Amino acid sequence: MKNLNLDKQILFNFLIFFFPISFLVGRAIVELLLFVFFVTTLFYCKKWKDYFFDKNYITILLSLYYLSVFFSTYINIEILGQTTDQNLLLKSLINFRYVIYIVSIWFVFQEIKLDKRFFLITIFVYLIFLVDGYFQFFTGENLLGYNMAGGRITSIFKDEYIFGSYIQKVIPIMITLFFLTFKKNITDKSIYFLLVLVLSTVIILLSGDRAAILLFSFFLAISFIFIKSYRKVFLINLLLSGVILFSIVNFGVGKNLAALDARYNPSSKTNAHYKQTITSHPIFKHIPRDYIGHFLVVKEMTKDNIYFGKGIKSFRFMCRGKLGNLYPVDGGVCSTHPHNYYLQSLSAAGLFGLFFLSSIFVLISIKMLNIFFGLFKKETQNELMIVSTITVFVYLWPLIPTGNFFSNWIAGFKCFALGLFLFINSKFNSEKNK
């Protein structure tokens, strides 16, 4: 019995700490680990309903969200079936697995006794990943010989521009796990925390991934305001990162500085085209033309079914599927998805889907406001609760270009962040009620 419990804890620690770095291996491994989370929970958990009906209503709202996407796909399946050979009804149905994965991750956190050794292994692997990124920046190719793609750091991801996005998504999770693992010994580990933070901040700014940089900076800014005990660390990170970046640019080292200038310089030819707008309205003045074009396409798509939308992947296949562009509009720009979770929800499930997803963000925002007002009170706040809430808040921030909400890469991060948040929230409430 003792050996069985030991094996259980080893498995749980492996799942929790390997998951954040599994994205470096590939999407199939991410999906496999999520499935193992589910099977493990199925074997050990006896009270599923305690997790599905959480007091935050997040699992319920997310279930209703996926239900609305499935229903929308079902009522539009005739036209969707003519635009692609993919089984979109099945794809919309299996999205429900993400709710189960969230519950499974929550349960594993509930049962686990965190082993610091697993966390240190995770950090070690992550540091190798960062070193690989720096090596590619300074030499033009990474440790495996992969060249930069389009003048941007890609590291292990080869020709995919997700290097910066991975850092932006994984650092909040790493920080939460750091707080959760070391608890009372956090202040003794500040120097290591700072090292990882500085290395991550510098390389993400050199990655050329603008959306990831904005979200990462947003996360750091909120964390500086909300996490009192680590304000000095975040401030030192800002200063050190600034000095390092200034030195890199000033001495002209690095193989993609010209590409970075083209991406960051507002007067460059790249941005001159990127910033061309198709309307003179002041609201859209500073929004790149592609994103306005996506918005115009979604607006046109939902005109004849604003409440239920057009179903999963409708933006992609009704815009450039086998039947061509079914919703031509002046200035419209087609793509694989609208590059915004909320626009994608509107196209896939109409106002109902948008309402359910927005409701989750509103609930998290209310928690953020409660934390903010608590800063002005004398009572001590739970910083573990704060950092997990900030993580989900930034993940769901609506005013930024994003990836595909239904991809298992994006969903994997969200499942882990929400499962971790629900665990910490339930733990915090239990301790508060004692």
Q: Tell me the pLDDT tens digit for each residue of 188-211.
A: 678 888 999 999 999 999 988 888
Distance in angstroms (rounded) separating the CA atoms of residues 158 and 162: 10
Residue 269 has pLDDT above 60, yes or no: no
The Cα-based distances of 169 to 21, 34, 45, 213, 308 in angstroms read 11, 17, 29, 11, 30
Distance in angstroms (rounded) separating the CA atoms of residues 396 and 417: 11
pTM: 0.91
User: Burial of 131 by CB count in 10 Å (0-12 exposed, 13-18 middle, 19+ buried)?
Assistant: middle
Nearest to 113 by CA among 8, 268, 236, 238: 8
Q: Which of 246-255, 304-313, 356-365, 400-409 has the highest mean pLDDT?
A: 356-365
Considering only residues 330 and 187, tell me which one the structure prediction assigns the higher pLDDT. 330
Distance in angstroms (rounded) separating the CA atoms of residues 315 and 353: 15
Q: What is the pLDDT of residue 38?
A: 93
Q: Tell me the pLDDT tens digit for each residue of 327-376.
A: 888 878 888 888 899 999 999 999 999 999 999 999 999 999 998 888 88
Q: What is the pLDDT of residue 43?
A: 85
Least confident of 95-104, 119-128, 151-160: 151-160
Q: Tell me the pLDDT tens digit for each residue of 395-421.
A: 999 988 888 999 999 999 999 999 999
